[in-house]
Amino acid sequence: MKKKMLATLLALSFLAGTAALSFAAKCTVTAVEGNTVTVDCDGVVSQAEGKAQVGDKVTVKDGKIEAKKKKAIEGC
């Protein structure tokens, strides 16, 4: 009985974790005023907090923006 409950608990926690990641929206910055950024997410315009420049592709999560990380250039 304990194994079934533990398996169910782990499955639900995994499901909740992946659902939280799916709520992060990918958006484009359209305007910046101080710390407030206006973003366009597939036609839906909203405001978020953070630092970004106009035209940046950002991810909005919980009303705050996270700038996308640029790939590092490797070389000698």
pLDDT digits over 36-55, tens only? 888 888 888 888 888 888 88
Cβ proximity of 38 and 27 under 8 Å: no
Per-residue pLDDT, 19: 58
The model's pTM is 0.53
Dump the DSSP string for 4-66. HHHHHHHHHHHHHHHHHHHTPEEEEEEEEETTEEEEEETTEEEEEES---TT-EEEEETTEEE
Band the pLDDT of 20: cuts 50, 70, 90: low
Instruction: In whole angstroms, give the CA distance from residue 13 to residue 9.
Output: 6
Question: What class is the 25-68 domain?
Answer: mainly beta
